[in-house]
Amino acid sequence: MNNGLICVSVCSETADEFNKKVESASEVADLIELRFDCLDKNQIEEVWKARASSKQEISTFRPKEQGGKRDLSFQEREDFWTSGNFTEWADWELELFELKVSFFSRFSICSHHDFNGVPEKLNVIYDRMNATNADVLKIAVQANDATDGLAVMKLLERAKADNKNFIPIAMGESGVWTRILGLSRGAFMTFASLDETGATAPGQLTVQEMIDVYRVKELDENTEIYGLVAESVTHSVSPQMHNAAFKFHNLNAVYVPFAVKNLEEFMRRMVNPKTREIDWKLRGLSVTNPHKVEIMKYLDFVDETAQKIGAVNTVKITESGELRGFNTDAQGFIEPLKNTYGDIKNCKVAILGAGGAARACVYALKQEGAEVTIFARNLEKAEALATEFDVAFAQLDEEVDFKPFNILVNATPLGTKKGGLENEAPAKTVQLGGLKLLYDLVYNPQTTKLMREAQAVFVPTLGGLSMLVAQAMIQQKIWTGLDAPMKEMGAAALRKLEGVKRL
Ligand code: NAP
């Protein structure tokens, strides 16, 4: 548990809508930020006519260059603040404090926003802010890589030593981890949006995600931290699955997304206990595209399965600081297949695609004694993978007849929502009749075009969600030693995929 607060920012052009949002926000937030700069000029006065909020409110009137919604002249800002028509708490930009404009508020936040990156002299900006008489200091910078968030987290440590209330924010997908972990490390407040469409700054999560998924107010300095390392993390359902498992077991642990471009820097500055610049109980990582192969060179140990597959998707960081790598894709792939199909020894299996997922599938199928053929659009890639694992390969095109096979596995991204591939399939109905099972690794949507093509000729199908949950369950076991709750993890994944807002 921590003492931090969740503030929901409210932004609308009309007073009516603004006040409705304030009412909804007051049901879930500790405090509400009233973003007066979002309102049309003539609507500002209107806001005060019908108010219904039971929560503490913060007034903000931000100019565009500091992240506000519209251009505001200095005169307009001065007029707003000298009108006295704002709440007991107010957020003023550093420059206003330094101009020593005297406004009337009992409680003040001094803020600085940088939407271009992390300013080189962030410490100097902090010093200037610290010299004001503000009750709280807030610094928000743009993170272009996960490591950019370190700067504001280091300032949080300084602020604690200075006995100052501080709000550290790294904006953007790469900075989300600072929004989630800030309160656990002593931040005064974190910001959230009311819903998916209401974010007032890049990377802001919804208040439901903050409370239901990440449980940010329950976290503290003893919280064990796990995370997803990927180039893009926004659409991942892993945080939902893993946090559901931690909640089920009542563990003081959280799973956080890390959008990472430079893996070397991330491993050195945030992960490796010998070199990292943040003192935290980081215990494990899920690793996905494009880092599954490169991560291996930063680990102290890689288990035999991961070595044979040539990729690591799970890292455990031991109490003694050792980094151990595993691969749960192969087992996560094979378990649902065997549960659905039964024994696959001598089964004829066609795999479509020759990428990372296909590698794990081929390895797992060979282990089980299946007869594998790899089909890929790029025959050279199919051949290279087939040679490595001593299996057959062939060209993937519309002429292939898959009837001689028992099982067909789609390990290409065709059919997935991401990237607009939803209406595509690597094979058509005429090619699929006679199969005993079609296993599509794509999990969003749950029923892909390829699955519908197969169902048209009564071929049973298995979607990729089963593998997604199974591999995550194995990760949980590696990290915590506990049996993971399949039902809760699957339901949490589905909620995110189906866009359900509230648990
Ligand atoms: P990857 O490494 O990029 O490999 C993708 C493979 O698909 C490559 O062989 C690629 O061929 C081929 N491909 C791409 N577009 C194609 C097209 N239009 N026609 C034919 N082949 C095409 O990706 P991955 O990591 O293996 O993932 C593949 C899919 O499996 C993704 O949709 C991913 O979400 C899914 N997956 C699901 C799970 C799960 O838990 N359910 C786990 C892992 C992966 P080229 O090399 O010629 O580009």
DSSP codes of every residue in 394-417: EE-STT---TT-SEEEE-S-TT-T
Testing ligand 1's pocket by substitution, the residue of 294, 377, 408 carrying the most ligand atoms inside 8 A of its CB is 377
Which residues is 98 bridged to in the sheet? none
Tokens 């003081």 belong to 252
Q: How far apart are the CA of 305 and the centre of ligand 1, in A?
A: 20
The atom of ligand 1 lying closest to the CA of 465 is: 41
Q: How far apart are the CA of 457 and the centre of ligand 1, in A?
A: 25
Q: Whose CA is nearest to atom 17 of ligand 1?
A: 414
Tokens 């003040």 belong to 108
Beta-carbon contacts of 280 under 8 Å, excluding residues fewer than 6 positions away, are 181, 225
The atom of ligand 1 lying closest to the CA of 416 is: 32
| pLDDT value for 235 | 87
What strands lie across the sheet with 56-60, from one edge to the other?
165-171, 136-142, 107-114, 89-93, 56-60, 31-35, 5-10, 189-193
The active-site residue out of 164, 292, 449, 496 is: 292
Instruction: Kindly tell me the burial class for residue 52, based on how many C-beta atoms sit within 10 Å of its own C-beta (0-12, 13-18, 19 or more).
Output: exposed
Residues 138/157, Cβ–Cβ less than 8 Å: no
Q: Whose CA is nearest to atom 22 of ligand 1?
A: 412
Q: How far apart are the CA of 352 and the centre of ligand 1, in A?
A: 9
For 36, 293, 339, 431, the CA distances from 434, given in Å and listed in that order, are: 64, 37, 20, 9
Q: How far apart are the CA of 375 and the centre of ligand 1, in A?
A: 12
Residues 83/116, Cβ–Cβ less than 8 Å: no
Q: Whose CA is nearest to atom 27 of ligand 1?
A: 357
Cis preceding-peptide flag for 413 (omega within 30 of 0): no
Q: Whose CA is nearest to atom 44 of ligand 1?
A: 357
Helix (H, G, I), strand (E, B) or coil at 54: coil
Q: How far apart are the CA of 456 and the centre of ligand 1, in A?
A: 24
Closest CA to 372 of 332, 414, 344, 341: 344
Q: Whose CA is nearest to atom 38 of ligand 1?
A: 441
| pLDDT value for 363 | 97
Which residues is 258 bridged to in the sheet? 229
Describe the chain by its helix, strand, coil percentages, rounded to 5.
40, 20, 40
Testing ligand 1's pocket by substitution, the residue of 329, 412, 449 carrying the most ligand atoms inside 8 A of its CB is 412
Q: How far apart are the CA of 441 and the centre of ligand 1, in A?
A: 9
The atom of ligand 1 lying closest to the CA of 466 is: 41
Which residue type is seen at 130?
N
For 289, 384, 397, 499, the CA distances from 379, given in Å and listed in that order, are: 22, 9, 11, 38
State pLDDT tens for residues 156-199.
Answer: 999 999 999 999 999 999 999 999 999 999 999 999 999 888 78
The atom of ligand 1 lying closest to the CA of 378 is: 47
Q: How far apart are the CA of 414 and the centre of ligand 1, in A?
A: 8
Helix (H, G, I), strand (E, B) or coil at 189: strand
Tokens 């009233």 belong to 34
Testing ligand 1's pocket by substitution, the residue of 313, 441, 462 carrying the most ligand atoms inside 8 A of its CB is 441
70-101 burial by CB neighbour count: b if 16+ within 10 A, else e?
Answer: eebeeeebeebbeeeebbebbbbbbebbeeee
Which residues is 228 bridged to in the sheet? 257, 286
* Terminal-residue alpha carbon distance, the chain: 21
Query: Ligand 1: residues within 6 Å at CB?
Result: 289, 329, 353-358, 376-378, 381, 396, 411-414, 416, 426, 441-443, 464, 467-468, 471
Q: Whose CA is nearest to atom 36 of ligand 1?
A: 441
Alpha carbons within 13 A on the beta-carbon side of 3: 4
Q: Please list the rounded mean pLDDT of every run of 10 residues in the chain (503 residues).
A: 95 94 93 95 86 83 90 90 86 87 78 94 96 95 98 98 98 98 98 86 92 97 98 94 98 98 98 97 96 97 96 97 97 98 98 96 98 98 97 97 97 92 96 97 96 98 97 98 98 88 45
The atom of ligand 1 lying closest to the CA of 443 is: 41
- Tell me how far the alpha carbon of residue 129 is from its chain's centroid: 31
| pLDDT value for 502 | 44
Residues 101/78, Cβ–Cβ less than 8 Å: yes
The atom of ligand 1 lying closest to the CA of 444 is: 34
Beta-carbon contacts of 430 under 8 Å, excluding residues fewer than 6 positions away, are none
Residue 450 to residue 416: CA distance in whole angstroms: 10
Q: Whose CA is nearest to atom 37 of ligand 1?
A: 441
418 is catalytic: no
State pLDDT tens for residues 220-267.
Answer: 999 999 999 999 998 899 999 999 999 999 999 999 999 999 999 999
Q: Whose CA is nearest to atom 11 of ligand 1?
A: 353
Q: How far apart are the CA of 280 and the centre of ligand 1, in A?
A: 35
Tokens 């370190």 belong to 150
